[in-house]
Structure 1
Amino acid sequence: MHSSHASMTAWGRASAILRVTSGNFLEQFDFFLFGFYATYIAHTFFPASSEFASLMMTFAVFGAGFLMRPVGAIRTGRLY
């Protein structure tokens, strides 16, 4: 069975692995920082009438960002 796609060279494979690894690292680091500073973000951006509600709204924003990962993968996955 012949494939119509050209096989990757060792350099191309290493380059792809490096790009994927660095992208995943940056994304997870971003989520870590957001979770770490969630209380400060809640206090700054949401109403102070209820600390619990402010924190839950902050985590809802965190969850929305996490749920958008598959949409971004579908949208930009075929660029390379």
Structure 2
Amino acid sequence: MSNLVDGGEFTTEIDEKTTRWSSLLAKATWAVLALGVVVGGILWVAIDGVLGEDLGALAWVMTFSASIALMSIRQMLLAERN
């Protein structure tokens, strides 16, 4: 089998369209992280009391969840999962 590497894992050819999408998803992840951290910080400081802290933390949780989702899609596109 020509598509096996030394460790016994299968390799796949990555076409140009997949490469572009994976690059775009990596850039989108950085944008989501930057925006989410800023929005969470603004919410934390701008809204008084516990509500501001809760909304800021919620924004950060949503940011990191979205980042994980974007990177998971990228991994599936590149077939890097075991």
TM-score by structure 1 length? 0.49
TM-score by structure 2 length? 0.49
